[in-house]
Amino acid sequence: MEIILEFAAFCIQVIFWTLVINFILHLINRYLDRPTKEDFQRLKQQIAKMVHFVREERHGQMNYWYDEQTDEFLAQGTDFDEIIAQARARFPTHVFIIDDCKHTVSGPDWKITPVDELSKKYNV
């Protein structure tokens, strides 16, 4: 009978220490996997590269879109549909903010959306 009690105590200790070690390893993994400030900075830079505040210029019949912050050429066309077709081909995952931050254009539908409507939709 004494051997059975010792074996039961041994099993309980093994289970207890297994749980403790697993808990500690879980905490260590959570600590190591959490995002760092550098991760957030990289994410912010990636998002900034994908969002374009558009400056529109018109020369004759042709309209040109430039990124307001970097002066990068974005697209050109004689009408809005041509510009969107070029922008969609060059930047399929990007967001374009037009009309002095009043409207946005982005995939998947590539239609003009008022910024106020987006803020209501996403509770911003």
pLDDT digits (tens, 9 = 90+) for 24-66: 899 888 877 777 788 888 988 888 888 899 999 999 999 999 9
Residue 124, pLDDT score: 58
Domain ranges within the chain, ordered by starting residue: 2-34, 43-121
CA 15 to the chain's CA centroid:
42
Query: If you ran DSSP here, which 8-state letter would residue 42 be given?
Result: H
Residues 68 and 79: their CA atoms lie apart, in Å, by 20
Q: What is the pTM assigned to this prediction?
A: 0.63
- pLDDT, tens digit, 9 for 90 and up, residues 62-75: 999 999 888 999 99
Q: Which helix (H) or strand (E) holds 74?
A: strand 73-77
Is 75 in contact with 56 (CB distance < 8 Å)? no
- Give 121's pLDDT tier (boundaries 50, 70, 90): low
